[in-house]
Amino acid sequence: MLDFWETMGRFIANEGGLRDTLLQDDSLTSPNVSVYCDPKVGTRHRESWSINTDKYDTLSDILTEHLVFQPASLFCLGEWLRVLPPAKSEGYIIPTTPVNLIGRDSTFYAALGAITVDEAFAQEFALDPGVFPLLTDEASIADLVSIANDPAYFNMALNLCADGWPPPCFVLVRPYAAEPTQTQPSLELVPEGA
């Protein structure tokens, strides 16, 4: 998940032109072809697509240039290939903030992506930034707490899970409705020497 959140943070900031690169690539933003999931009924499920392997390869090459938390997982690539066609066709509104988003480190972008896609987690983060234990830089923490406390930011934030992801929505930091305190394993700190 860190790879997805980091690229989401970089996408929001347009760090290194990532958002422009992704949205200007017609192959990545072309609609995905839905597939039949139930041959007996013959219905198409909106969350099931046939995605050309070339899309994965193209996206992987682009993200590799921007991503510190590598390699880009297949999960991350799949989520982006799900996000990009509607992001271009529906013109997602990208959140804005007075906080400088350019030239930050990878943990800042990962935390920015996490609080953007999970507003409930952003509220937790605003009260206790330690819920994102990988972020240790005090200036980054202060800036991200400012963003997490900004209602205007979240009025514009990308609400990916409201756009039809079947539950649980795994781009969230807290994806499990039945277990709201369960954190994504990628945020668990590994003890030194382990």
* pLDDT value for 31: 84
CA 59 to chain centre: 14
**Residues 6+ away with beta carbon under 8 Å from 179:** none
Q: Which of 5-14, 49-58, 74-83, 174-183 has the highest mean pLDDT?
A: 5-14
Q: How far apart are CA 119 and CA 67, in angstroms?
A: 23
Structure confidence by residue, pLDDT tens digits, 60-86: 999 999 988 888 888 899 889 888 888
**Residues 6+ away with beta carbon under 8 Å from 32:** 49, 50, 51, 81, 82, 85
- CB contact at 8 A, 108 and 12: no
Domain map of the chain by residue range? 2-89, 106-186
pLDDT class of 41 with cuts at 50, 70, 90: low
Structure tokens at 56: 């994965």
- CB contact at 8 A, 92 and 23: no
Structure confidence by residue, pLDDT tens digits, 139-188: 999 999 999 999 999 888 777 776 656 666 778 887 655 555 555 666 66
